[in-house]
């Protein structure tokens, strides 16, 4: 932050955020955003000598002049999409489909069919659904939770699918790193499966495979560059291969459609490619606060009791809503768990401090860095301050409605998930699954400078 207190300074090597100084009018919104998120006041810039960024992108959502924005990757795709020697794949994250319509006056309904059609029209060979990756994440995370319950260790277990939250822990609360689920995020799991299972199944040279993901999140741009999440090169024993080649925000996808003169409203809907196609509605819930928790509890119940929850018990009302911190005790048959859902990083610090002091106890905690969850991500279509809460709520409602109307509401009942375990991964939390779908984390508290106890 500059001495005037009105500008954030972003380093050139920031993996997700860029600032064009010539556009800055020193309105202070970027500073306000970082403070509201709960990051700016967590460190002393005189000690760090640099801004600490978790790449959440809320500053980009509030900047009125576009001075602060995500690093644009969609521009690099123009020439690549014209190369016939490349096999081009792209995956769409859950929250994207209920927000993109705002840019085309189509509201917050689920527009996945039009997105698929538009992407195929501009040159992608395969269009996949990240809800498959979300289902995969739940299979691994629910089994990891059950394993921790059985072994009675490392509680609470925190979700790890939000990269801004992961960076927050690594920097400000590294003592909780062992408590993070070792599962990679849905996006990084999806990309690994595309560049291992799918490439092998279709006989595609992984070096010819261009893999793109669209997400509501700017922090994913930093996440895909973490070496520990990239496994396809090791799998095929080739160098210079990343699992995800480019990460586009929802805003970038809108620009890509507009630059290619796609009349989005008139597109005829098409289906996702298969395998790795459409996931369960439990996977779709990942796009909102409480969604990961709800999906995980549904499948953890199955792993613990060897039967599914009754349909009228699939909705865990206590984890829904947009309250900053929600908590409840859930009966999973074999065990009862104390769980919590945190909505927005600004709400997590006091909870972590209480856990450290032994004032509260939880078995399982979901944290999403952005208000409302991914539907309010830093890469979503911009909203005015007056319409922000209402629009985000509509995005969230659209996801919950989709879940209620879905025929497949359990990750472990997704036929393509069943197939991928039968033919490739063997079983949830197997040695092979852990090698491809799990990750590690780093203590980054050194970035704070000085002693953390000063």
| Residue positions annotated with a catalytic role | 141, 144, 161, 181, 220, 223, 228, 374
Angle at 346 between CA 328 and CA 70, to 5 degrees: 120
Q: Which two tokens stand for residue 285?
A: 């819930």
Q: How far apart are CA 43 and CA 317, in angstroms?
A: 36
* Residue 215 contacts residue 247 (beta carbons within 8 Å): yes
Report strand pairing: 209-215 vs 87-92: parallel
Please give the structure tokens belonging to residue 49. 């000598």
Bridge-based pairing of strands 17-19 and 68-70 is antiparallel
Residue pair 79/24 in contact by the 8 Å Cβ criterion? no
Cβ neighbour number for residue 21 with a 10 Å cutoff: 9
Place of tokens 């700016």: 40
3-state class of 391 per DSSP? Answer: helix
d(CA 401, CA 29): 34
* Tokens 């190369």 -> residue: 83
Question: What's the CA gap between 206 and 234, in Å, rounded?
Answer: 11
Distance of CA 191 to the CA centre of its chain: 13
Q: Is the Cβ–Cβ distance between 356 and 45 less than 8 Å? A: no
The DSSP line for 187-224 is HHHHHHHIIIIIHHHHT--GGGEEEEEEES-SHHHHHT
Cis previous bond, 156, omega within 30 = yes
Whole-Å CA distances, 284 to 94, 273, 292? 5, 17, 9
DSSP class of 86: S
- Report the alpha-carbon distance of residue 375 to residue 94 in Å, rounded: 9
Close Cβ partners of 327 (under 8 Å, ≥ 6 residues apart): 318, 338, 339, 340, 341, 362
Structural contact between residues 342 and 158, judged by C-beta atoms closer than 8 angstroms: no
């Amino acid at each position: 932050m500059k001495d005037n207190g009105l500008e954030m300074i972003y380093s050139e090597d920031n993996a997700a955020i860029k600032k064009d100084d010539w556009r800055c009018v020193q309105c202070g919104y970027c500073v306000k955003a970082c403070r509201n998120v709960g990051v700016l006041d967590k460190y002393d810039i005189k000690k760090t000598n640099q801004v600490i960024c978790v790449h959440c992108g809320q500053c980009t959502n509030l900047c009125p002049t576009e001075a602060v924005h995500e690093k644009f990757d969609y521009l690099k795709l123009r020439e690549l999409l014209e190369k016939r020697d490349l096999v081009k794949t792209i995956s769409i994250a859950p929250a994207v489909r209920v927000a993109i319509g705002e840019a085309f006056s189509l509201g917050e309904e689920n527009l996945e069919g039009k997105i698929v059609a538009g992407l195929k029209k501009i040159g992608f060979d395969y269009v996949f659904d990240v809800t498959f990756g979300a289902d995969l994440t739940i299979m691994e995370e629910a089994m990891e939770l059950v394993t921790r319950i059985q072994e009675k260790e490392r509680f609470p277990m925190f979700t790890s699918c939000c990269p801004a939250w992961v960076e927050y822990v690594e920097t400000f609360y590294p003592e909780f790193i062992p408590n993070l689920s070792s599962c990679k995020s849905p996006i990084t799991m999806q990309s690994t499966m595309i560049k291992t299972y799918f490439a092998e199944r279709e006989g595609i040279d992984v070096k010819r495979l261009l893999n793109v993901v669209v997400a509501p999140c700017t922090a994913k741009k930093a996440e895909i560059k973490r070496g520990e999440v990239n496994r396809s090169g090791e799998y095929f024993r080739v160098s210079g291969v990343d699992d995800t080649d480019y990460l586009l925000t929802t805003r970038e996808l809108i620009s890509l459609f507009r630059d290619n003169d796609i009349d989005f409203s008139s597109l005829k809907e098409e289906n996702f490619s298969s395998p790795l196609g459409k996931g369960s509605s439990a996977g779709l819930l990942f796009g909102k606060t409480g969604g990961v928790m709800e999906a995980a509890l549904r499948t953890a119940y199955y792993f613990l009791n060897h039967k599914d929850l009754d349909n009228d018990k699939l909705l865990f009302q206590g984890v829904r809503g947009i309250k900053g911190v929600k908590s409840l005790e859930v009966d999973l048959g074999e065990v009862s768990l104390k769980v919590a859902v945190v909505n927005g990083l600004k709400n997590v610090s006091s909870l972590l401090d209480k856990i450290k002091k032994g004032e509260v106890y939880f078995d399982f905690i979901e944290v999403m860095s952005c208000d409302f969850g991914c539907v309010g991500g830093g890469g979503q279509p911009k909203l005015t301050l007056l319409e922000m809460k209402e629009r985000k709520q509509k995005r969230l409602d659209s996801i919950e409605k989709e879940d209620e109307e879905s025929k497949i509401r359990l990750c472990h009942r997704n036929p393509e998930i069943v197939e991928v375990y039968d033919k490739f991964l063997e079983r949830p939390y197997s040695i092979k699954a852990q090698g491809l779908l799990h990750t590690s984390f780093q203590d980054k508290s050194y970035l704070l400078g000085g002693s953390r106890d000063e």
